[in-house]
C-alpha cells in the first residue's frame, strides 16, 4: 500500500531522549524499532543520567514529526523504558566532539598551529614527535570545518562522537522518577486461588 | 529488578529459606501463578527442569506435543479460551527456534504466554556450543519482553516479572531463557512474591476523565454513530461493560475477527464482521457514519483497506489500553486511553440512552442484499458440490453457538469467522494478525485444556492441516477431545482465489494433494469419516459431535469457490465486492 501513502514532507532532525533502566539487550530492543521501519539512526549515544541506575539515550534521526511521535510511543512501550521525549534542534543544546590526528612534521613546517587552533576553537590533546591530536567540540559544521582545514596537512585519522543533547526546557528526571516509583502497583493482576492462602504459597 | 515491597505475598523474612534447585524454584513459581497445564517438548538443555517436573506430576500437567510449534500454538489456544497465561517449555537451539512463529503470532494477537527455554551452560554462551542459539536476540522483535537467566537466584523474581508482564496491560508473549547451570544450581529459596509493579512499566495509561466527557459529547451529537470492537474487549474481560454501552447508546456495532463473540452473534445491534471478507453493511457504512467509536481494536490493514479513503467523513473516537495504537493508522478525534473495563462504564454513564432505529435499519438493508446475493447461495445451496458455508451453517445448528471454534488460515477461516455463531465470549480462536497456517490443530488442543467443559471444533483447510497434523499424536496420547473438521477443496484455496481474481487464473502451485486423512487419523487412533454428499452432512456432523473423544471429519467441498464479499487489496472498504 506504500504507493497510496503521500510522501512525507517536512523531515528534519529530531533529538530523541530515552530514559531507561540499565538492562542488557535494551539497546537492541530500541534499535530494532528503527530498523524495522527502515529508519536510519544518524547518531546514538548512551550514557548514565543524572540519576544512578538510570540510563539516557540520545538518538538523532531525520524524520517527520508524525513518524517521530509514533516511534517514541513504540519505544516507550518497552518494559524497561521509563520515558521518551523528542525535540527539534532548536529545543536542545547539543554538542559533538571530534578528534583529528595530523603528522607533526608537516604541521610544524607549514602551519602556524597556534593560529589554526585559535581560529577553529580547537585544542591539542596530544603532541608527539610523529603526530599531533586535536580536539574540537561543537555542531557538525564546526567539526567538519576543521577536517577541511587539516586535510592539506595530511590528516591521518578523524573521528567524531555521537551527539549529546541537553533539553532546554526540562527540569531533569529526578521529579519524574519519583512519580514513577510511587505509581500505585496494579490491582487484580493475579487471578488464582493460591493468592488468598498465604501459607500455601510454598507447595512442598 | 524492581518489585514493590508493600505487596509482598510471602514476606521473605518471615519464611524460612529452603534450599532448592533453580528448576524446582521455577516449578514452584508456576504453581503460585496458577499454572495447571504446560505444553512442551524436552531436550538436553532443559533436562533439569524436566527432571524436576517428574516430582510435580500431581500439581502440574505437562502435555508432550509433537513439535514445539505445536506446543506454543497449544499455549495460545489455552490462553485464548481460559483468559489465563499459557505456559510453554522448549529446549535450546532448534527447540527454541521452533517457537518463533508462535511468538510472532502471540505478539501480534496480544496473547499472554510465558515460554521457558533451556539454554547451554552460562560459561559456554557465545562459543557456538552444541545447540546454542542466541534465543534472546532472535526473539526480541516477537516478544513483549524476554530475559536470560544465568543464576538460579534470579529465578523467582524474573518469573514473577514474566507473568506480570505477559498478563497485564496489553498482554503478550514473554520468553525466559534459562542456562543449564542455573537450572541445576541450588540456592536459598525464600518464597515466591508475585509481581505487581515494575518501575519502568506502565501496563495501562491513566484515564483522563475530560476525554471521556468529550467522547460522550461527540457520541451524543452524532446522527450516525458506529462502533467497531476488537479483541481488547475480551482481553479486558469487559464483555458486560461493552454490552451495557452498546445497549444504552443504541449504536450499531461490528467486530474484527478477534473481537468475535464479545456480544452474541444474534444480538440485534451486532451488525457483523469488518474487513476484507467482512460483511457488506459494516464495510460500506464505515464510509458513511459520522462518528466511529473504535474499542480495543487496532485498525489493521485487513480491516481498513485503503487508509486514505477510510472513514474520512467520520470523527474517530478510539478507546485503547496501548497509547501507541492511538493515531498509529487512523487519526483520532478523541482518544480515550485506558483499560476498556474501566473506561467503558465511565463512557456509558455519560452517553444518552438512544435508539438509532433508522440508521440500524440501513445496516439491515445491506444485510438483506448480502443475503440475497451471497449468503443464501453459500449457506443453502440446493445443487452442486457442498460449500464451506453450508458446513458451518449446519454446525451452528447442531452446537447452538456454544462451541469453541478454532480456525486455521485460508478461505475456511474467513467462512468460519463469517458464519460461525457465538453465544459465548472466548469462543473464536484464530490466528488473526499473523495468519499462521498450521495454527488450528495445536491451538484446538490447547483451547480444549482452557475450556474443558465446552465442545471444541477445529475447522481446517487441507493445506493447513498438513502443516501440523502430527499433533494428532498429542491427541492420541492425551485422549483430549478435539473435533477436527477438514474442509477439503483440494487447493490452497485462498491463494487460488487471489490467482483467479487477480492473476488471470494462473494457478501456480496451489493444487495440493492430500493423504487419506481418515486413514492417517486412524493411524493415530482417532476415529474419522470423509463425506462428499450433501445428504450425509448433517448426520456426519452429528456423528462427530456425539462421538466420545476426538473425531476427524473430512468434508469434500467445491474446489473453486470464492469467499465473498471481498475488499480487494488497495481498495477502500466501500468498494467491497459482492462477487
Ligand atoms: C505458514 C503459512 N504459509 C503460507 C501462508 C499463505 N497462505 C494463506 S492462505 C493459504 C492457503 C490455505 O489453504 P488451505 O489450508 O487448503 O485452506 P483454504 O484456503 O483452502 O480454506 C496460504 C498458502 C500462510 N498464511 N501461512
Percent over 90 (pLDDT), chain B: 96
Residue B480, pLDDT > 70, answer yes
Q: Which letter does DSSP use for residue B50 in this model?
A: H
Sorting pLDDT into bands at 50, 70 and 90, what band is A172?
confident
- Contact at CB, B9 and A198, closer than 8 angstroms: yes
Residue A3, pLDDT > 60, answer no
Rg of chain B over Cα atoms, rounded to whole angstroms, equals 24
Residue A190, pLDDT > 80, answer no
- Contact at CB, A186 and B203, closer than 8 angstroms: yes
Task: Name the one residue in this structure whose C-alpha cell is 488450528.
Answer: B440
Sorting pLDDT into bands at 50, 70 and 90, what band is B214?
very high
**Ligand 1 pocket check: which of B108, B109, B409, B491 to mutate, most ligand atoms within 8 Å of Cβ?**
B409
Q: Which residues contact B380 (CB under 8 A, 6 or more apart)?
A: B390, B393
Sorting pLDDT into bands at 50, 70 and 90, what band is A109?
confident
CB B415 within 8 A of CB B465: no
pLDDT in tens, B121-134: 999 999 999 999 99
| The predicted structure's pLDDT at residue A171 | 87
- Contact at CB, A183 and B202, closer than 8 angstroms: yes
**Relative to the CA of B492, which ligand 1 atom is closest?**
13
Pocket (CB within 6 angstroms of ligand 1): B 408-412, 435-438, 461-464, 487, 489, 491-495
C-beta neighbour count of B508 within 10 angstroms:
9
pLDDT in tens, A122-133: 999 999 999 999
Q: In this complex, how many residue pairs, one in chain A and one in chain B, have their CB atoms less than 8 Å apart?
A: 111
- Contact at CB, B307 and A202, closer than 8 angstroms: no
Structural element, H or E, at residue B31: helix B22-32
CB B84 within 8 A of CB B30: no
Is B483 a residue of the active site?
no
Is B131 a residue of the active site?
yes
Sorting pLDDT into bands at 50, 70 and 90, what band is A202?
very low
**Residue A5 or residue B69, greater confidence:** B69
Please tell me the distance from the alpha carbon of residue B296 to that of residue B319, in angstroms, as a whole number: 6
CB B211 within 8 A of CB B203: no
Residue B116, pLDDT > 80, answer yes
Residue A8, pLDDT > 60, answer no
CB A12 within 8 A of CB A67: no
Mean pLDDT of all residues in B149-171: 97
- Contact at CB, B199 and A180, closer than 8 angstroms: yes
Sorting pLDDT into bands at 50, 70 and 90, what band is A183?
low
Residue B189, pLDDT > 80, answer yes
| The predicted structure's pLDDT at residue B16 | 72
Mean pLDDT of all residues in B152-181: 97
Nearest residue on chain A to B165, judged by CA atoms? A79
**Ligand 1 pocket check: which of B276, B433, B435, B492 to mutate, most ligand atoms within 8 Å of Cβ?**
B492
Structural element, H or E, at residue B484: strand B483-488
Question: Catalytic pick from B1, B13, B59, B130?
Answer: B130
Residue A6, pLDDT > 80, answer no
Nearest residue on chain A to B20, judged by CA atoms? A204
Three-class DSSP category at B198:
coil
B475 to chain A nearest CA, in Å?
A: 28
Sorting pLDDT into bands at 50, 70 and 90, what band is A185?
low
Q: Which residues contact B434 (CB under 8 A, 6 or more apart)?
A: B101, B104, B105, B108, B109
| The predicted structure's pLDDT at residue A113 | 76
Facing residue for B141 by CB, picked from A6, A32, A190: A32
Is B448 a residue of the active site?
no
| The predicted structure's pLDDT at residue A114 | 79
| The predicted structure's pLDDT at residue B79 | 98
Q: B1-5, B87-91, B169-173 — which is least confidently predicted?
A: B1-5
Please tell me the distance from the alpha carbon of residue B530 to that of residue B333, in angstroms, as a whole number: 53
| The predicted structure's pLDDT at residue B5 | 34
pLDDT in tens, B14-61: 557 899 999 999 999 999 999 999 999 999 999 999 999 999 999 999
Which of A31, A186, A188, A196 to mutate: most B Cβ within 10 Å?
Answer: A186
Mean pLDDT for chain B overall: 95
| The predicted structure's pLDDT at residue B321 | 97
Kindly compute the dihedral angle of the four CA atoms of residues B321, B325, B331, B335, in this order, to the nearest 10 degrees.
10
Query: For chain B, what percentages of helix, strand and coil (3-state, to nearest 5) are there?
Result: 45, 20, 40
Kindly compute the dihedral angle of the four CA atoms of residues B112, B246, B301, B361, in this order, to the nearest 10 degrees.
150
Please tell me the distance from the alpha carbon of residue B208 to that of residue B16, in angstroms, as a whole number: 45
Backbone region of residue A138 per phi and psi (left: phi > 0; alpha: psi in -120 to 50; beta: other values): left
| The predicted structure's pLDDT at residue A175 | 86
**DSSP string for residues in B149-180:** E-SGGGHHHHHHHHHHHHHSSS--EEEEEEEH
A76 to chain B nearest CA, in Å?
A: 8
Amino acid at each position: 500500500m506504500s504507493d497510496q501513502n503521500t510522501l512525507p514532507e517536512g523531515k528534519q532532525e529530531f533529538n530523541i531522549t530515552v530514559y531507561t533502566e540499565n538492562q542488557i539487550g535494551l539497546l537492541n530492543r530500541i534499535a530494532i524499532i528503527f530498523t524495522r521501519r527502515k529508519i536510519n539512526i544518524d547518531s546514538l549515544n548512551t550514557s548514565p543520567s543524572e540519576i544512578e541506575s538510570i540510563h539516557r539515550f540520545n538518538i538523532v534521526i531525520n524524520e517527520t514529526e508524525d513518524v517521530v511521535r509514533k516511534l517514541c510511543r513504540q519505544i516507550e512501550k518497552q518494559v524497561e523504558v521509563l520515558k521518551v521525549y523528542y525535540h527539534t534542534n532548536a529545543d536542545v543544546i547539543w554538542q559533538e566532539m571530534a578528534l583529528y590526528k595530523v603528522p607533526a612534521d608537516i604541521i610544524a613546517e607549514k602551519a602556524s598551529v597556534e593560529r589554526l587552533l585559535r581560529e577553529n576553537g580547537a585544542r591539542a590533546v596530544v603532541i608527539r614527535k610523529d603526530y599531533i591530536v586535536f580536539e574540537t567540540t561543537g555542531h557538525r559544521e564546526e567539526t567538519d570545518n576543521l577536517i577541511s582545514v587539516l586535510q592539506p596537512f595530511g590528516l591521518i585519522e578523524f573521528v567524531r562522537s555521537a551527539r549529546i543533547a541537553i533539553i532546554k526546557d526540562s527540569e531533569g528526571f529526578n521529579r519524574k522518577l519519583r512519580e514513577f516509583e510511587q505509581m500505585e502497583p496494579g490491582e487484580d493482576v493475579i487471578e488464582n486461588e493460591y493468592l488468598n492462602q498465604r501459607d500455601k504459597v510454598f507447595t512442598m | 529488578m524492581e518489585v514493590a515491597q508493600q505487596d509482598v505475598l510471602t514476606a521473605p523474612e518471615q519464611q524460612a529459606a529452603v534450599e532448592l534447585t533453580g528448576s524446582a524454584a521455577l516449578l514452584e513459581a508456576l504453581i503460585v501463578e496458577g499454572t495447571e497445564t504446560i505444553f512442551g517438548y524436552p531436550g538436553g538443555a532443559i533436562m533439569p527442569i524436566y527432571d524436576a517436573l517428574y516430582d510435580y506430576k500431581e500439581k502440574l500437567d505437562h502435555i508432550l506435543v509433537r513439535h514445539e510449534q505445536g506446543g506454543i500454538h497449544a499455549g495460545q489456544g489455552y490462553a485464548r479460551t481460559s483468559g489465563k497465561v499459557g505456559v510453554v517449555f522448549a529446549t535450546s537451539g532448534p527447540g527454541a527456534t521452533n517457537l518463533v512463529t508462535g511468538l510472532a503470532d502471540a505478539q501480534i494477537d496480544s496473547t499472554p504466554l510465558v515460554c521457558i527455554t533451556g539454554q547451554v551452560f552460562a560459561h559456554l554462551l557465545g562459543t557456538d556450543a552444541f545447540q546454542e542459539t542466541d534465543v534472546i536476540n532472535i526473539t526480541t522483535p516477537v516478544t513483549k519482553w524476554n530475559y536470560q537467566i544465568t543464576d538460579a537466584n534470579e529465578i523467582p523474581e524474573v518469573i514473577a516479572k514474566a507473568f506480570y508482564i505477559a498478563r497485564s496491560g496489553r498482554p503478550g508473549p514473554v520468553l525466559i531463557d534459562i542456562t543449564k547451570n542455573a537450572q541445576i544450581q541450588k540456592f536459598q529459596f525464600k518464597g515466591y512474591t508475585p509481581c505487581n509493579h515494575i518501575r519502568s512499566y506502565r501496563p495501562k495509561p491513566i484515564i483522563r476523565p475530560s476525554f471521556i466527557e468529550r467522547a460522550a459529547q461527540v457520541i451524543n451529537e452524532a446522527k450516525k454513530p458506529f462502533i467497531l470492537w476488537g479483541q481488547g474487549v475480551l482481553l479486558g474481560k469487559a464483555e458486560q461493560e461493552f454490552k451495557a454501552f452498546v445497549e444504552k447508546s443504541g449504536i450499531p456495532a461490528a467486530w474484527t475477527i478477534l473481537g468475535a463473540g464479545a456480544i452474541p452473534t444474534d444480538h440485534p445491534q451486532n451488525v457483523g464482521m469488518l474487513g476484507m471478507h467482512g460483511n457488506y453493511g459494516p464495510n460500506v457504512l464505515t464510509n458513511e457514519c459520522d462518528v466511529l467509536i473504535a474499542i480495543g481494536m487496532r485498525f489493521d490493514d485487513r480491516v481498513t483497506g485503503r487508509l486514505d479513503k477510510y472513514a474520512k467523513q467520520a470523527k474517530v473516537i478510539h478507546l485503547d489500553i496501548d497509547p501507541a495504537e492511538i493515531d498509529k493508522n487512523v487519526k483520532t478525534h478523541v482518544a480515550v486511553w485506558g483499560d476498556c473495563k474501566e473506561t467503558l462504564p465511565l463512557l456509558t454513564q455519560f452517553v444518552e440512552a438512544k435508539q438509532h432505529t433508522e440508521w440500524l435499519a440501513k445496516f439491515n438493508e445491506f444485510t438483506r442484499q448480502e443475503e440475497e446475493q451471497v449468503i443464501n447461495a453459500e449457506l443453502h445451496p440446493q445443487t452442486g458440490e457442498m460449500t464451506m458455508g453450508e458446513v458451518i451453517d449446519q454446525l451452528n445448528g447442531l452446537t447452538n453457538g456454544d462451541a469453541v471454534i478454532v480456525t486455521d488460515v485460508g478461505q475456511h477461516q474467513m467462512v468460519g469467522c463469517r458464519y460461525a455463531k457465538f453465544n459465548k465470549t472466548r469462543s473464536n480462536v484464530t490466528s488473526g494478525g499473523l495468519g499462521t497456517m498450521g495454527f488450528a490443530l495445536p491451538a484446538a488442543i490447547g483451547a480444549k485444556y482452557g475450556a474443558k467443559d465446552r465442545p471444541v471444533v477445529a475447522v481446517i483447510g487441507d493445506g493447513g492441516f498438513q502443516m501440523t497434523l502430527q499433533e494428532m499424536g498429542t491427541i492420541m496420547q492425551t485422549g483430549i477431545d478435539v473435533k477436527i473438521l477438514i474442509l477439503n477443496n483440494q487447493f490452497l484455496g485462498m491463494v487460488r482465489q487471489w490467482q483467479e481474481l487477480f492473476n488471470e487464473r494462473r494457478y501456480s502451485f496451489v493444487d495440493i494433494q492430500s493423504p487419506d486423512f481418515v486413514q492417517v487419523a486412524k493411524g493415530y487412533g482417532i476415529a474419522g469419516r470423509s463425506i462428499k454428499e450433501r445428504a450425509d452432512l448433517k448426520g456426519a456432523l452429528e456423528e462427530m459431535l456425539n462421538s466420545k473423544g476426538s473425531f476427524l471429519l473430512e468434508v469434500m467441498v467445491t474446489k473453486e469457490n470464492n469467499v465473498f464479499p471481498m475488499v480487494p487489496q488497495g481498495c477502500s472498504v466501500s468498494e467491497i465486492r459482492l462477487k
